[in-house]
Amino acid sequence: MHRQYNKGLGVIEVIIGTAIFVIVIGVVSNMYARFTDAVMDNTEKLQATMLVEEGGEVVRILRDNGWDNFIGGFELGSLYYYSFAGSDWSVSTTTPSAYIDGVFLRSVIFDSVYRDGNDVIATSGTLDPDSRKATVNVSWQNGSGTTTQTQIMYISKLFD
């Protein structure tokens, strides 16, 4: 007569089943965390894109409010920060004490514009005193450091 011993088999099945369950839960949790991080990164990128676009609009507003008083008077190559008071936009070299939504820092740098013999914008040539290159930056901190979204635009003195 042959005897079968099955006493420990049920315990082993429970241990293996629990291990598989724990592994599946770990994988699902990790995937959820990565998905959440990706959504947050995309949300921040979208907000930054909107803030960069708004920064470009502010540059155009400042130009329209008077080239000589605003755009023409800025020191070229200097970093300027945006501020909004009441119903007016302005820029200054003072770093703001509060970031936009507690996350984003927006700035603009104005540079000279040069034109070649065909009146096309070039890296060197004749200085165009009635045009400026404006580089609008929005930066924010993320898990891997600082991320910056940039828009480069050229503006010209249209009025005055």
Rounded CA separation 128/113 (Å): 6
- pLDDT per residue over 122-155, tens digit each? 999 999 999 999 999 999 998 789 999 999 999 9
Q: Is residue 2 part of a domain?
A: no
Rounded CA separation 154/108 (Å): 12
Rounded CA separation 55/153 (Å): 11
Q: Which residue has the higher pLDDT, 64 or 7?
A: 64
Q: Is residue 1 part of a domain?
A: no
Q: Predicted confidence band at 11 (pLDDT cuts at 50, 70, 90)? A: confident
- pLDDT per residue over 55-95, tens digit each? 999 999 999 988 988 898 899 999 999 988 888 888 899 98
Rounded CA separation 1/7 (Å): 19
Q: In the prediction, which pLDDT does 143 show?
A: 77
What would you report as the CA-atom Rg of the chain, rounded to the nearest whole angstrom? 29
Q: Which domain, by its residues, includes 151?
A: 8-156
Q: Is residue 80 part of a domain?
A: yes
Residues recorded for the chain: 160
Q: In the prediction, which pLDDT does 7 show?
A: 64
Q: In the prediction, which pLDDT does 137 show?
A: 97
Q: In the prediction, which pLDDT does 88 show?
A: 86
Rounded CA separation 121/125 (Å): 9
- Pairing between β-strand 79-85 and β-strand 105-115 as defined by DSSP bridges: antiparallel
Average pLDDT value for the chain = 89
Q: Is residue 118 part of a domain?
A: yes
Judge whether residue 39 has pLDDT over 90. no
Question: Can you tell me whether residue 5 is helix, strand or coil?
Answer: coil
Q: pTM of the predicted model, to two decimals? A: 0.74
